[in-house]
Amino acid sequence: MWRSIVVALVLASAALGWNRDEDVNVNSRYTVESVRVEGYRSSDISPALRSELEALVGQRFDPSLFDRVSARICRDLRVNKVSMKVSRGEQLEHVRVEFLVENQPGQRFDIAIPEMLYQSRQGVSGALEIRTDLAGHRLAFAILSDNNSKIERFSGIEARYSHDLGSKRVRFGFNFDSYHQQWNSSTVNAYALNPTVPGGLYRSRENYQPTLTFVLAEPLTLHVGAAFQSIEEQAPVMQREFDNAAAVTLAYHREWWTGNVARSSMNGDYVLRAATHLLDSDFVFVRNSVDLRYQFAAGKQTVLVTFLAGAISGEAPLFERFVLGNATTLRGWNKFDIAPLGGNRVVHGSVEYRWRWFEAFYDTGAVWNRGTHPDQKQGAGFGVRTTNKDALLLAVAFPLRSGRVDPIFIVGFNF
């Protein structure tokens, strides 16, 4: 009798072990057909996390891998819990994976480097940010130094606050920024030849910006507010001036699948800034800009197309003017060689192809002032970019022009 019991237990253990192995083998047979994140506004998902999720499509389904991805989503979105749902795909032996975000109120705190960049002609730019969420009150504080996005290098602090007003479709936000400026010698020399540029060279500026955000529909978000900026000029004379402007941004974001194997996304921003004497502004201008980004991904391949256009009418200070020739536009060119004082007109387009870690890109565009002829320039380059959350880019870019070719090296992550 005892011998029979022992044999039965051994057979039962073997059967359980066989079932467990069979489940693992069965799971590994399936190919991931699609990956989605539900319960969270898709427009709030970072491009790095979105690329990481897209890279899972076409891989074999591994539960342990997707558990680790769930943990990364929690960290990136700063939520307490993410559950995973797996369902049968439309194709044979394919599955769909949905990550369900449960955004529970509570206290969260983290420190991050939202961007770090080196461009061989313009040096290092970067930021360190501290973020917390206290029962729905989102706070962020950053220290930064940026020589990429404006004509000048601006260094200082940024503080942001936001809170939902009754629902997730209406949000109040407030930004405070305080910067000190450093000017490149090319800009200083160009200003000496053209001292009538509005606002002149300034030593510091502060920005106070309240904003109301309305989620009109899942693809459309409207931001309405005002920016009150105090500028301490250093040339031609020491004085303080004010750039007070109404600010409106209409943001569009949509993602869709084609045949359950190819994923497309469209991001667009229309930004209007209007400074007027009604807001006690020393500057009077209207600044319009459109920024579009289309991405198509299938398997390990990605095509990215971007377009930028903008115009300023009236007299705007230097930090409002458009810039090309940095780590994201006209790569291979130096912004101080193109327009050391920026311009009040801009058009730019870019096409980028990525295969796994490799990428190649082509840029073309012009920045100029009203009444002058635009000088179109072109650039191209290639590099490698990782697809994880903290995406790392190593690239070399060249200006496409006759004569000497001077390459520009770009190294960065989270950008």
- pTM (2 decimals)? 0.77
- Spatial neighbors of 358 by CB under 8 A, at least 6 apart, are 382, 383, 384
Report whether 264 contacts 295 (CB < 8 A): yes
Q: Are residues 227 and 275 in contact, defined by beta-carbon separation less than 8 angstroms?
A: no
pLDDT category of residue 146 using cuts at 50, 70 and 90: very high
- Whether residue 361 is predicted with pLDDT greater than 70 in this model: the reply is yes
Task: Give the span between the Cα atoms of 332 and 399, in whole angstroms.
Answer: 5
State the sign of the Cα–Cα–Cα–Cα dihedral 37, 39, 43, 44. Answer: negative
What is the spatial distance between Cα 61 and Cα 71, in angstroms, rounded to a whole number? Answer: 17
Cβ-based neighbour number of residue 277 at 10 Å: 10
Q: Extract the tokens encoding 231.
A: 């500028």
Burial degree of 208 (CB within 10 A; 0-12, 13-18, 19+): middle
Q: How confident is the model at residue 260 (pLDDT cuts 50, 70, 90)?
A: low
pLDDT for 300-357, tens place per residue? 899 999 999 999 999 999 999 999 999 999 999 999 999 999 999 999 999 999 998 9
As a whole number of angstroms, the distance between CA 109 and CA 113 comes to 14
Which burial class, exposed, middle or buried, applies to 194 when counting CB atoms under 10 A from its CB (0-12, 13-18, 19+)? exposed
Residue of 294 and 73 predicted with greater confidence: 294
Answer with the residue of higher pLDDT: 10 or 74. 74
pLDDT of residue 218: 75
Q: Tell me: pLDDT of 270 over 90.
A: yes
pLDDT in tens, 45-84: 766 677 777 778 878 888 877 877 887 777 777 677 788 8
Q: Where are the beta strands (DSSP E) in 183-260?
A: 201-217, 220-235, 239-258
Average pLDDT over residues 37-47: 66
Task: Give the type of residue at 382.
Answer: F
Q: How large a percentage of the chain has pLDDT more than 90?
A: 55
What's the CA gap between 173 and 223, in Å, rounded?
10
pLDDT of 136 reads 78
Which pLDDT does position 104 carry in this prediction? Answer: 54
Mean pLDDT across 212-227: 92
Domains and CATH numbers, the chain: 2-102 (3.10.20.310), 113-125+136-413 (2.40.160.50)
Mean pLDDT across the chain:
85
pLDDT, residue 262, reads: 77
Q: Which residue has the tokens 């709030």?
A: 44
